Structure 1
Amino acid sequence: MAIHTQQSFSGFIASAPQLSYTENGDPRLFVKVGKEHYQREADGSFTQKDTTFHNLVAFKAAAEQGHERLAKGDKIIAEGYVREYEYTDANGLTAPGEEFVARRIGHDMARTRYEVDRTPRRSVEREAAGFEAPQRQSPQSEPPNLSL
């Protein structure tokens, strides 16, 4: 079976995450993200080029978790795809645009220090919904008397 892959984006959160809701009531996260670019020089060193800025959106659980956990300046990695669209600019002209639609988004482990909380997310629900086996009656030592 082939490995399923998607496009990815790595960079930083450049604006405060904004949470809104779609017409269907689904959560939608919008944030500006920045991408730093570097050029490798002949001597092996790197020269920083201009940083580019892009739109990133996420929906549903990714939007809620992103809004709760991400902040301006955070280094991130996102998995998803680029969506191209057209919009009307301030002069009334149609212009092309693009945004990265993140299906998954999180902190970049190589550039962020953090601690991991491994407690199950639904531990309270699991404890409350525990299963209790019915009590079994012990077998009788003598078969019951039957009469016809």
Structure 2
Amino acid sequence: MAIRTQQSISGFIATDPQLTMTDRGEARFYARFGQENFHREEDGSFTKLEPSFHNLVMYRATAERAFERFTKGDSFVAEGYAHEYSYERDGQSLSGEEFVAKKIGHDTARTRYEVDRAPRKVAAQETVQREQERAFDPPVSRPTTNTPMLGR
């Protein structure tokens, strides 16, 4: 059986990610991403060039999870496809290109992190429980006194 392949990119999130809703009511993640560029010199060394910047989008649950986990400056690897599009603005016909990511993760060569291997449902329940515990303010305890109680 043949190996299924997809296009992939790596880079860094260059702008604060945005989460919006499409006309169909689906979540849409958008951010500009940068890619480092290098030129190989004749002696085998590399000269760093200016980074290039592009559009990154994701949809539905992938968009929501990415918005929770990624921030400006994060290095990533994504799988998906390049999408060329055209639109009109102020009577002018414009075109652009974006990378539509189906899957995305932090770049392990450039990111330190811990892996939570708990099943997703269990992990989600634990996260909710932790958030509820943080939000709970225990009642203020009153100072105790040595005065006798009535009725005893």
Same fold (TM over 0.5): yes
Moved over 2 A (4+): none
Looking at structure 1, the residues matched to 48 and 82 of structure 2 have their Cα atoms a distance apart, in angstroms, of 25
2:54 is paired with a residue whose SS is: strand
Where does 1:57-96 land on structure 2 (aligned, <5 Å)?
57-89=57-89, 92-96=91-95
Unmatched runs of 5 consecutive residues or more in structure 1: 126-148
Which is helix-richer, 1 or 2? 2
Q: What is the CA-CA distance between 1:92 and the residue it aligns to?
A: 2.9
| TM-score, with length taken from structure 2 | 0.77
Question: RMSD of the TM alignment (CA)?
Answer: 1.7
Q: What is the CA-CA distance between 1:50 and the residue it aligns to?
A: 2.0
- Larger radius of gyration, structure 1 or 2? 1
Unmatched runs of 5 consecutive residues or more in structure 2: 125-152
Looking at structure 1, the residues matched to 14 and 57 of structure 2 have their Cα atoms a distance apart, in angstroms, of 13
Letter of the structure 2 residue corresponding to residue 107 of structure 1: H
Distance 1:51 1:124, change over 3 A: closer
Looking at structure 2, the residues matched to 34 and 123 of structure 1 have their Cα atoms a distance apart, in angstroms, of 35
Looking at structure 1, the residues matched to 98 and 17 of structure 2 have their Cα atoms a distance apart, in angstroms, of 15
Letter of the structure 2 residue corresponding to residue 64 of structure 1: E
Looking at structure 2, the residues matched to 93 and 67 of structure 1 have their Cα atoms a distance apart, in angstroms, of 32
Looking at structure 2, the residues matched to 68 and 26 of structure 1 have their Cα atoms a distance apart, in angstroms, of 16
Q: What is the CA-CA distance between 1:118 and the residue it aligns to?
A: 1.0
Looking at structure 2, the residues matched to 17 and 75 of structure 1 have their Cα atoms a distance apart, in angstroms, of 13
Identity value in percent: 56
Letter of the structure 2 residue corresponding to residue 114 of structure 1: Y
Q: What is the CA-CA distance between 1:124 and the residue it aligns to?
A: 7.6
| TM-score, with length taken from structure 1 | 0.79
